[in-house]
Amino acid sequence: MSSKVKKILVSQPKPENDKSPFIELANKNSVKIEFRPFIQIQSLSAKEFRANKVNILDHTAILLTSRHAADHFFKICEEMRITVPETMKYFCVSESTALYLQKFIVYRKRKIFYGQTKFEDLLDEIIKHKDEKFLVPVSDNSKQMDIFKKLKKVKIEYTKAVFYKTVFSDLSDISNLDYDIMVFYSPYEIESLCKNFPEFQQNDIKIASFGPATAKAVKEAGFRCDIKAPMPNAPSMTMALDMFIQKQNKKTNGKDIKE
């Protein structure tokens, strides 16, 4: 049965300000959007990290693929009382990640390098410093195989080390998933859905997924994926949701008129 979209659950933290595209989406379509992370990111303990048998100071450069990687790299260093030398070089996949380093170190451009829009931009800089020994902080479920294939192809010496892990959120306080749309961004969020709500029946609830891996996880869990992003006509999740809501609500309004 077609019904008007009124309530959406997004499996992400609540935006810090009202400039979020989700807030704009809610205001434009008069829908209620709730935010609840289905997964949490946690640092390894010093004991867990030592089990990796990785010596941070054996490396001369750090390759950071996200702000999470930066957060947990410096947290582990602090917990293990490791003083990162000023000679350490940092290679970041984006300028925003590079600027984020100001939270931890005195920002010196000559030691920090970053790409523009894709990893290949940064790879050019890495090749210029191919004699460095790179350390790459990752999560326990890292899917960045493409990056490591490219590093191997150009014969860059690197160590991949787990600094943080993904755990399922405790959602036991949610008694009823009474939403019109549920939005997921990773396969682990689908796993968390199944773990927290083993009796969950999708029925008329629409599931929106970001990325092919998440869409695949939705299908493998036995659910129906109704909204996908990115798509050529909807590169962002909010655009995909907006298009769906407009179509769904127009269909419902038309039905109301006929009735």
Residue intervals in the chain for CATH 3.40.50.10090: 7-38+173-258, 42-166
Band of the pLDDT at 259, cuts 50, 70, 90?
Answer: very low
Helix (H) or strand (E) holding 112: strand 112-114
What lies within 8 Å, CB to CB, of 109 at 6+ separation is none
pLDDT of residue 138 exceeding 90, the answer is yes
The number of CA neighbours under 13 Å toward the Cβ of 216 is 4
Alpha-carbon distances, residue 196 vs 131, 190, 259 (angstroms)? 47, 10, 40
Task: For residue 17, give the 3-state DSSP assignment.
Answer: coil
Q: Are 163 and 151 in contact (CB under 8 A)?
A: no
Query: In this predicted structure, what is the pLDDT of residue 164?
Result: 95
What digits encode the pLDDT tens for the residues 143-196?
677 899 999 999 999 999 999 999 999 999 998 999 999 999 999 999 999 999
What digits encode the pLDDT tens for the residues 221-244?
999 999 999 999 999 999 999 999
pLDDT of residue 116 exceeding 80, the answer is no
Task: For residue 1, give the 3-state DSSP assignment.
Answer: coil
- To the question of pTM greater than 0.75 for the whole model, the response is no
Q: What is d(CA 44, CA 20) in angstroms, rounded to the nearest whole number?
A: 31
CATH classification (class only), 42-166? alpha beta
pLDDT of residue 1 exceeding 60, the answer is no
Query: In this predicted structure, what is the pLDDT of residue 251?
Result: 73
pLDDT of residue 128 exceeding 50, the answer is yes
pLDDT of residue 254 exceeding 60, the answer is no
DSSP for 165-204, written as a single string: EEEE---TT------SEEEE-SHHHHHHHHHH-TT---TT
pLDDT of residue 6 exceeding 90, the answer is yes
Band of the pLDDT at 109, cuts 50, 70, 90?
Answer: low
What digits encode the pLDDT tens for the residues 53-102?
999 999 999 999 888 999 999 999 999 999 999 999 999 988 888 999 99
What digits encode the pLDDT tens for the residues 7-36?
999 999 998 888 899 999 999 999 999 999
CATH architecture assigned to 7-38+173-258: 3-Layer(aba) Sandwich (3.40)
Between 173 and 108, whose confidence is greater? 173
